[in-house]
Amino acid sequence: MWWLSALGGLSVLASGLLGLDDAVHVLERIASVLVFLVAVTIIAGLADSAKVFDVAAREAAHLARGRTWRLWLLVVVLATALTIVLSLDTCAVLLTPVVLAMARQLSIPPKLFAFTTVWLAGTASLLLPVSNLTNLLALHRFDQLGLGLGDYLALSWRPAVAAVLVTVIVLAALFHRDLRRAYVVPKTPAVDDKVLFWGAAGVCLALGPAFVSGVEVAWPASAGAVVLLGLFAVRRRAAVNWSLLPWRLVVTVVGLFLVVATLTAHGFEQRLADVAGTASGGLLPDLRLAGTAAIGANAVDNLPAYLAMEPVAAAEGRRMMLLLIGVNCGCLLTLWGSLATLLWRDRCRTAGVHISWWSFLWRGAVLVPLVLAGAVLALRLG
């Protein structure tokens, strides 16, 4: 997908559909988001190399004491926490192969854990701005509305809790037979370098408070990446290489931004406003906005869907949260609904777990309407 985004971005610039000044403005806006994306990806990659996620998953297997339902609930907690603090991409990319390998070793059907990670990567990504790139982009509009981090959290926590609870209930209903299984408790994997392990674990734990401190999130993420890069350079130099840089993801994001900025500059905003509606305050208008955002995310990926619809929702913080509910929680119908889902499917394929588009679609068709309705209703309670 990255090369399509690159081609689209280059095309709009070469054709003159998007002026150079406008392109520079777009890049200036997303600069801090890109810095955060690179930094948190480096942190996640090095933490994975230090076996932080592997040990966490195996400790969960020990705590569950041979019961699949208890292990699943612990994976739910781990996936939710990882998504909230280190973003949905980290959960989809790093936790997925760990839990799939664990499921195979414990003789548990892997789809239970595969869908748990990808669904929670989406639905648990509302709470903090760092949980999803769409949330980080939305901070720009929140700032323009005079709303800070506290205001964001006041709007996000109810729908975030509702989205996670609905997801857990649907997962339990769809996979109730698998949850009845038992397994033999495995040994905890050995840690090769305890300094790297505890250093990486400490950085990951410290990021949570840092991200809600009100400081621009790119700063603590960059600091954490520098600390781990220095630690690994001393103790395991081979792990510090160019593969840590998510250049394909960066190219994809930049290309999508340029294409959507071009569409917005040529009148696409008004057409979206006609579909999503401009009224606010009622349940049906709220569902209409969130639903339109979800349809857009499943059609063209949640990042460009957010960017295209941002002007439609920018009048108030509550409408911005409805937009985020739609693109974050509603993008789970198609395998291209988000970059995290594409990366997740690649990890599943590598682990030998086949997820067809139909298998993903019909399960998503059960979840998405329920999670959108639950999150929108929870927002209205505020």
Enclosing domain of residue 272: 2-381
Q: Which 3 state secondary structure label does DSSP give 300?
A: helix
Closest CA to 121 of 377, 290, 304, 342: 342
The H-or-E segment that residue 178 falls in is: helix 176-179
Instruction: Using the structure block, give the residue that is written with the tokens 């973003």.
Output: 87
Q: How many domains does the chain have?
A: 1
SS (H, E, C) 98-149: HHHHHHHHCCCCCHHHHHHHHHHHHHCCCCCHHHCHHHHHHHHHHHHCCCCH
**Interatomic CA distance for residues 348 and 351, integer angstroms:** 5
pLDDT at 272: 65
Which residue ranges in the chain fall short of pLDDT 70? 1, 267-280
The pLDDT, as a whole number, for residue 308 is 84
d(Cα 120, Cα 134) in Å, to the nearest integer?
Answer: 16
**From CA 15, how far away is CA 341, in angstroms rounded?**
31
Written as one string, the DSSP assignment of 313-330 is HTT-HHHHHHHHIIIIIS
- Give the three-state DSSP class for 67: strand
What values do phi and psi take at 101, rounded to 5?
A: -65, -40
Please give the torsion angle defined by the CA atoms of residues 96, 97, 99 and 103, in that order, rounded to the nearest 10 degrees.
130
String of DSSP letters for 371-382:
HHHHHHHHHHH-
Coil, helix or strand at residue 17: coil
pLDDT digits (tens, 9 = 90+) for 340-382: 898 798 778 878 899 999 999 999 999 999 999 999 999 999 7
Predicted pLDDT at 102 = 86
Angle between the 357-381 and 317-324 helix axes, to the nearest 10 degrees?
A: 160
Scored b (16 or more CB within 10 A) or e, 137-160 reads: bbbebbeeeebebeebeebbbbbb
Q: Which residues lie closer than 8 Å to 314 by C-beta, 6 or more apart?
A: 141, 144, 145, 320
